[in-house]
Structure 1
Amino acid sequence: MKKENRIKKNKEFQDVFQKGKSVANRQFIVYTLKKPDQKHFRIGLSVSKKIGNAVTRNQIKRYVRQVFHEIDGQIHNDFDYVIIARKQASQIGYHELKKNLQHVLKIAKAFKNRST
């Protein structure tokens, strides 16, 4: 994931939390905020220490980044996405995580015309 595609600053996270919309399932909470002047989507990841040790948290973040890498052309580019992982996300493998993340993104209407 390129640096310009990441949300890193606290103020940017807070903007998405306060002005954006949220949807959730058992594994993830996704906040979305439309940014009309943006050329490419950006993602911010939040994985709490309650979920597990550093290895587990980093693995979840890698998986989420990989899913966004794979669905790059299918989601709207003019949005910021903040993904918060829940405890159940640490207990599933990559393919199940991908399916659940795509499900919550579909609920958030993040995909362009066709759904995955």
Structure 2
Amino acid sequence: MRLTRKRRMRQWGEFQIVRNGGKSAAGKYLVLGKLEGEMALDRRFGLITSKKAGKAVTRNLLRRRFREIIRKHGDNLHQNVMLVTIARWRASQATFQQLEADWIKTAKKLKIWHEQPIDPS
């Protein structure tokens, strides 16, 4: 799945809608917030990396890693879901494989994960 501009959350209001109206689950390295149903637009993703995660180089590395995880596994999520990935400070010390496993585990906690990719049509 490509993470095109249309699929990214870019405005603060979108993040607030997910935060106030959705549910969240925490993993070791990240927190996932989700909003499902009619309020959610078709599979939108947002990333938050605060300064607690490290300096700019580290935060950008985390964003690239999470974008790659979403690209690889975004089709395994429900259709109408808005998902915000928030990096915890521990994420900067994790490998890509650890982040990927934690992201999948947390998505399963939120009950938005399917083992088989869902057709985007």
TM-score after normalising by structure 1: 0.90
2:101 corresponds, among 99, 102, 109, to: 99
Contact 2:43-2:80 at 8 Å conserved across structures: yes
- Indicate how the Cα distance of structure 1 residues 60 and 110 shifts in structure 2: closer, same or farther if over 3 A, else same: same
- Indicate how the Cα distance of structure 1 residues 29 and 68 shifts in structure 2: closer, same or farther if over 3 A, else same: same
- Indicate how the Cα distance of structure 1 residues 30 and 38 shifts in structure 2: closer, same or farther if over 3 A, else same: closer
Structure 2: stretches of 5+ with no match in the other structure: 117-121
Q: Runs of 4 or more off by more than 3 Å in structure 1?
A: 35-40
2:112 corresponds, among 102, 110, 113, to: 110
- 1:27-66 equivalences under 5 Å are 27-36=29-38, 40-66=42-68
Contact 1:35-1:80 at 8 Å conserved across structures: no
Alpha-carbon offset, residue 16 of structure 1: 0.4
Separation in 1 of the partners of 2:87 and 2:68? 15
Percent identity between the aligned chains? 31
**AA in 2 matched with 1:86:** R
**CA offsets per residue over residues 38-77 of structure 1, 9 Å max, x none?**
6731111110011101111011111111111111321112
1:11 corresponds, among 13, 22, 42, to: 13
Contact 2:26-2:32 at 8 Å conserved across structures: yes
Question: What RMSD, in angstroms, separates the aligned Cα atoms of the two structures?
Answer: 1.6
